[in-house]
Amino acid sequence: MGSPILAPSMLAADHTRLAEDIKLVEAAGCTWLHVDIMDGHFVPNLTFGPQTVADLRPKTELFLDVHLMLAQPQHFVEAFAKAGADQITIHVEPSYDVGACLDQLKDLGVKRGVVINPRTPAEAVEPYLREVDIVLAMTVQPGFGGQSFQQDVLEKTAQIAKWRESLGLDFRIEVDGGVNAENAPLCRAKGVDTFVAGTAFFKSEDRSLFRKNIETLD
Ligand SMILES: O=C(CO)[C@H](O)[C@H](O)COP(=O)(O)O
């Protein structure tokens, strides 16, 4: 299991002043930024496009963890990679060739991962474990920030962590949705090493302490 990393979610930032809010992420000592891309089809909301990522890229050295909540991600991975994403994650639920899209990501030279929704079984990511840098288990139904953490998802992260160990792999396991300082230790105990937090991070009175609390979990 990797050392814990906090990835604040840009979804919870002020969308009229993203560049300034990213400086809050840097000032807290974070090294990652989670960027949620929504298409209004796979999820019932809209957020950012490749241009947003391209405009942010020269303003920060944060590792850009781009989560594509798209029905047809294969049409957009190149644009996001060229915009400067460091890592791109794609959902397994929509109807498209996930393996081929992972191949595209490899050719584009970015880190790559697969994502499952709360009700999608862990087995849905099993075929891809040897290829990915990260598996993201959503702890809310994707689409909106500020929802409640679904603790039963941790049974899946524990299963995925078992596969990671038995196969001798080192991909990261990430959770996203309702993550806060109270439930992060529970996640850590179930194999999680990468913690996306939107609301809890941006509303925190001491963001630096919030980061330290997550990134010093045993
Ligand atoms: O992917 C997401 C929603 O689809 C967000 O990253 C996630 O919900 C984080 O926000 P919060 O910490 O407020 O739950």
What is the interface pTM, i.e. ipTM, of the complex? 0.96
Rounded distance from Cα 12 to ligand 1 centre (Å): 8
Decide whether any atom of ligand 1 lies within 6 Å of the 8 Cβ: no
Q: What pLDDT score was predicted for residue 141?
A: 98
Distance of alpha carbon 85 from alpha carbon 167, whole angstroms: 28
Counting from 1 in the atom list of ligand 1, the atom nearest the Cα of 138 is 1
pLDDT score at 40: 97
What number does the ligand 1 atom closest to the CA of 200 have? 12
First to last CA, the chain: 10
Taking phi over 0 as left and psi of -120 to 50 as alpha, with beta for the rest, 29 belongs to left
Is residue 68 within 6 Å of ligand 1 at its C-beta?
no
Query: Count of domains in the chain?
Result: 1
> 149 is written with which tokens?
């953490």
The reply to whether 176 belongs to the active site is yes
CATH number of domain containing 19: 3.20.20.70
Residues 11 and 37 sit within 8 Å (Cβ to Cβ): no
* Residue ranges of the chain with per-residue pLDDT less than 50: none
Residue 184: give the domain boundaries: 5-215
Residue 67 assigned ligand-binding role: yes
Structure tokens at 208: 């630096």
50 CB near ligand 1 (under 6 Å): no
Ligand 1 neighbourhood includes 145 CB (under 6 angstroms): yes
pLDDT value, residue 1: 86
Which atom number of ligand 1 is nearest to the Cα of residue 180? Answer: 12
CA 199 to ligand 1 center in whole angstroms: 8
